[in-house]
Amino acid sequence: MSGAASPLWSTDTIAAISTPYGTGGLGIIRISGAEAFRIAGQIFTGRKAFNDMETHTVVHGKIVDPATGLMIDDVLIIKMNSPHTYTTEDVVEISCHGGIIVLKNVLSLVIRQGARTAEPGEFTKRAFLNGRLDLVQAEAVIDLINSRTSEGSRAAAAQLEGRLSESIRNARRKLIELIAHIEAVVDYPEHDIEELTGGKIYEGVKAVKAELQRIAEGFNRGRLIREGITAAIIGKPNAGKSSLLNMLAGSDKAIVTEIPGTTRDIIEEYINVGGMPVRFLDTAGIRDTSDPVESIGVARAQKAAMEAELVIAVFDAVTGILAEDVAILGSIQDKKKIIILNKADITEEAKLEKMKDLLQTEVGTPVLIASMMDGTGIAELLKEIEELFLKGTIGVNSELLVTSVRHRQLLDNAIESLKTAEAAHVSGLPLDFVTIDIKEGAEYLGQITGESVSEDVVKEIFSRFCIGK
C-alpha cells in the first residue's frame, strides 16, 4: 500500500502506535480496515490461531516475521469484528512490551504485510465518517486526551457522550420542520393549513433562537475549562516572583537567590484553579539594566505581561512602593491584575495596611498581603483568580458547555440568521423570504455536528489529533 496521504473516504487498512512514544510497560499497535484480520493472521502465532479467535477476545502469543521466522515480541492480541468497534471496521490491537524499538519493529512488519501508516486522527476520522461519532463527539476525543483538569475531562466526556450534539440536532430538526411547513404553505396555497400562520412560524423561530442562546452562554466557562488562562508574574528583582511560582508548584521550579537578575528566561507551571488550568509564568525582574542578557529577559517579561489574561504584580513590602513599582503599574493599567505585597513576615503590620489601602484606592484592583516564606496569601490568591474568571459561570454538571471556538462561531451565526428571520416576519415579508434565513441557520447547526460540513473543515479538525488516535 502507498504511504501517501489518503483521501477523505479512504478504505485502506491503516496502522499506528496508539500509545505515547517512550519506554513503558506496554505499548499498543492498532490496525483498522478490511485487511486487518488477514495481516494479523500472517504475523501472529499463539495457542489459538488468529482466524479461530472469537470477536472481542484476547489471546496470548507471539509476533513472528513470516519472512525470517524470527520472533519480534511476546504479545496479547485483541480481535474485534466490525461494526462493533471504534472505527466500525475490523480492528486488531496488539499489546506489546513498551520499548519504542519493539513497537516500531512490529508496526514496520504490519506495514510490510499491506497496511499503511495512519494519518493524525485517522482512526477517529473513520469513526466520524462511518457514523460512529458525529463531529462534536470526535472533537471531544482530542479535548479528553488534552484535558489538564478533572473538570476539563468531565466536560469533554459529556461532549463525547453526545449531550451537546443532541441539543444541536434537536434545534436543527425543529428548524427543518418549520422549513417543511413553510414550503408546504407556499407550494400548495389552496390547502388552508391554519396552524401554519406566520405568527406561529415566528414563535417557533424565537423558541429555537432562545435555546441556541442558552447553549452559547456556556462558552465562556467551557473555554476557560478547556484552554485555561495565562497568568504572568511580574515585578522588580527580588520581589518574590520565583518564590511565588515555587509555592504554587509545590516544588523548586525556579532558582531563588538574593542576587538580583537571577531569573533570565520565563519559567512556567500549570496549576488547577477551580477546574481551570492556569499557566503561571515566572518572569525576569523588571528594571533598567545594562546587562544585554538580562535586558532580553526584561523585554520577555514585559511581552508576557501584555499577552497574558492576568497579571500578578509582586511588590516588596519591606522596601515599600518604589518608582520601579509605579512604572510597572503604569504599564499594566489596562490589564486584569492582582497585586501581592510580599514579605509580610518581616514587615510591620501598620506599614502593610497603609500600602494596601493606598494601592486599592489608587489602582482599584485586588491587593493581597502575602509571605512566600510560610505560604501566607497563596489560598487567597487562588480564590481571587477563581472569582475573577469563574464567578457566576455555570458548572460542568449543571449545563452544557461549549468548549470550541468553532462551535461558538457557528452558534452565533445561526442565532444571527434566526434574528434576521424574525425581522423579516416583523417587516411583513412573505414566508418564502423567512425560509431563506431559517435554512441558513439550519446549515450552520449542521456544520457543528458534521451533517453539512466541507471536506476541508473535516481535514483541518483531524489534523490536530495525534497519530494513533
Q: Give the start-to-end residue ranges of the domains of the chain.
A: 14-133, 140-218+401-450, 225-390
Round to whole Å and give the CA distance between 347 and 62: 69
Mean pLDDT calculated for residue range 251-260: 47
| Cβ burial, residue 190 (10 Å; 0-12/13-18/19+) | exposed
C-alpha cell at 89: 471496521
Looking at residue 256, its amino acid is V
b/e 358-388 (16+ beta carbons within 10 angstroms → b): ebeeeeebbbbbbbbeeebbbeebbebbeeb
For residue 289, pLDDT over 50 is answered with yes
Pick from 112, 27, 30, 103: which is nearest to 65 by CA? Answer: 112
Long-range pairs for 152-161: beta carbons < 8 A, 24 or more residues apart = 152/225, 152/226, 152/275, 152/277, 154/396, 154/397, 155/222, 155/225, 155/226, 155/396, 155/401, 155/403, 156/226, 156/403, 158/396, 158/400, 158/401, 159/401, 159/403, 160/133, 161/137
Mean pLDDT calculated for residue range 50-77: 96
Mean pLDDT calculated for residue range 106-118: 96
What topology does CATH give the domain 225-390? Rossmann fold (3.40.50)
Q: What is the pLDDT of residue 383?
A: 93
Answer yes or no: are the C-beta atoms of 172 and 445 closer than 8 Å: yes
DSSP 165-191: HHHHHHHHHHHHHHHHHHHHHHH-TTS
Q: What is the pLDDT of residue 190?
A: 54
Round to whole Å and give the CA distance between 244 and 426: 59
CATH of domain 14-133: 3.30.1360.120
Mean pLDDT calculated for residue range 309-330: 90
Answer yes or no: are the C-beta atoms of 328 and 313 closer than 8 Å: yes
What topology does CATH give the domain 140-218+401-450? Four Helix Bundle (Hemerythrin (Met), subunit A) (1.20.120)
Answer yes or no: are the C-beta atoms of 417 and 424 closer than 8 Å: no
Tell me: the pLDDT tens digits for 10-39?
689 999 999 987 788 899 999 999 999 999
Q: What is the pLDDT of residue 36?
A: 97
Tell me: the pLDDT tens digits for 384-394?
998 888 775 44
Q: What is the pLDDT of residue 2?
A: 34
- 245 versus 4: the higher-pLDDT residue is 245
Q: Name the pTM for this structure.
A: 0.70
Question: Which residues contact residue 105 at a Cβ distance below 8 angstroms, ignoring those fewer than 6 apart?
Answer: 72, 73
Q: What is the pLDDT of residue 187?
A: 61
Q: What is the pLDDT of residue 246?
A: 87
Helix (H) or strand (E) holding 234: strand 229-234
Round to whole Å and give the CA distance between 216 and 164: 11
Q: What is the pLDDT of residue 115?
A: 97
Answer yes or no: are the C-beta atoms of 446 and 453 closer than 8 Å: yes
Q: What is the pLDDT of residue 241?
A: 85
Q: Are strands 57-64 and 71-80 parallel, antiparallel or unpaired?
A: antiparallel
Q: What is the pLDDT of residue 226?
A: 79
